[in-house]
Amino acid sequence: MLLHNKTNVYPSTFILIGIPGLEYAHMWISIPFCMGYILALVGNCSLLFIIKTDSKLHEPVYLFLCMLAVADIVVCTTAVPKLLSIFWFHDGEIPIEGCLTQVFLIHSCSTMESGFLVGMAFDRYVAICNPLRHSAILTHTVTGAMGLAIVLRGTAFLSFHPFLLRWLPYCKTNIISHTYCEFMALIKIACAETSIRKAYSLVVAFLTGGVDFILIICSYVFILNTVFHLPSKDARLKTLGTCGSHVCVILVFYTPAFFSFLTHRFGHKVAPHIHILVANMYLLVPPVMDPIIYGVRTKKIRDRFLKLFSFQRT
């Protein structure tokens, strides 16, 4: 559906084609994505229910985990149902308003996820480096204010993205070689000067994800410094064990995020289907893995889940 008419450079719809080069395998690829989406919904909703109904879990780290779970649900729900529609029904058509909504929700909520990980890192820093003042520093009010600030930051920085894309001329094509609408995918099919828009996107990425990652690294430098000054090996291992879940979630989130970001801007030799698969993993794997990681590694959540499960069986 190429737009040959040069006067019609502002299409009302775009066409998402899925994963170029792997169209023959779309049906098979849809199976793990569908199962992953169901796991993400069940896992994160269960996590929210467990934390909400257990007053012992109303601690800052678990409140940040609730915020992360909500963002995870929004991100995967924004992208995966449309992906499955493409794979199952070849329904790749999406109105421009829906496309720009995807751009905003995916990018803004991903930014919020990064911010919530910083909040959790700050919680670990205070709990380990200043344990006697943890409850005084991270009150519910402070935790809520931090969460609100993270949401407002994600909304403010990313709310310009749809407007930057809305009035670009797309005289080359309205076909997007992707499973969902993202900022750089639309920039690539525009036939106008986009260097300023790319620069803005790069600055926003650094001021959000880049700064967040630096803050997390700094918090763990202070944590490790404190841990290595503990008197016994058992104390050091026990203290580090309280950070295990958070470290796993950080790796699950940032590894595909950085790969997707770098390949979109600099990895011109990376096969398109590899990039698109990683981009989708970035949206789906963290929502699937986060509740599993905290459910398996956090005793309070694990015990509460087993208690619920045992109650339902009796």
Q: Is residue 273 in some structural domain? A: yes
Please give the tally of structural domains in the chain: 1
Confidence category of residue 6, pLDDT binned at 50, 70, 90? very low
According to the model, what pLDDT value does residue 8 have? 63
pLDDT tens, 170-190? 987 899 999 999 998 899 899
**Residue 145, domain member (yes or no):** yes
**Model confidence pLDDT, tens digit, residues 37-94:** 999 999 999 999 999 988 888 999 999 999 999 999 999 999 999 999 999 999 999 9
Instruction: Residue 211: give the domain boundaries.
Output: 13-309
Task: Note the pLDDT tens digit of each residue in 86-120.
Answer: 999 999 999 999 999 999 999 999 999 999 999 99
Whether residue 8 is contained in a domain is answered as no
Bigger pLDDT: 231 vs 117: 117
- What mean pLDDT is predicted for residues 123-145? 95
How confident is the model at residue 139, as a pLDDT?
A: 95
Domain assignment present for residue 6? The answer is: no
CA angle, 56 as apex, 54 and 58 as ends, to 5°?
Answer: 80
Q: Reply yes or no on whether the pLDDT at 298 is more than 90.
A: no
Tokens of 304: 């509460």
Tell me the two tokens of residue 72: 């995870």
What is the model's pLDDT at position 3? 41
Give residue-wise pLDDT tens across range 265-288.
Answer: 666 677 888 888 888 988 999 999
Where residue 273 sits, what CATH number does that domain have? 1.20.1070.10
Tens digits of residue pLDDT in 9-25: 888 999 999 998 898 99
Domain assignment of residue 108, yes or no = yes
Asked if the structure places residue 1 within a domain, the reply is no
The answer to whether residue 5 sits within a structural domain is: no
pLDDT number for residue 4: 41
Q: Which of 1-5, 36-40, 235-239 has the lowest mean pLDDT?
A: 1-5
Domain annotation covers residue 62:
yes
